[in-house]
Amino acid sequence: MGAEIEANNKRYAEEQDSVTKAVEDSYLKVKSDKSFLFHVLQVRLSRLRDLASTQLEALEAFLRSDRRLSVLYC
């Protein structure tokens, strides 16, 4: 996705003087949508990283407390 955004930015910069208002509006809308999506993905990744360690610790504690599986953690 990052390479696609960079390619579109480069193409727009090269053609900026000759684009119509409709093309410019379309480009800006697509850019805004992609930027928003990228931000959402960054937030979700950050949240996942924060929650993953907690969830892993909880799973490990559960497995250690199960008498059938506790032999794996001796």
Domain that holds residue 38: 2-73
- Look up residue 6 and give its amino acid: E
Check if the beta carbon of residue 69 is closer than 8 Å to that of residue 63. Answer: yes
pTM listed for this prediction: 0.61
Tally of domains in the chain: 1
Name the 3-class secondary structure at 17: helix
What are 23-32's pLDDT values in tens digits? 888 888 988 9
Determine the Cα–Cα distance for residues 14 and 7; give it in Å rounded to an integer.
Answer: 11
- Give the tens place of pLDDT for each residue, 30-50: 889 988 999 999 999 999 999
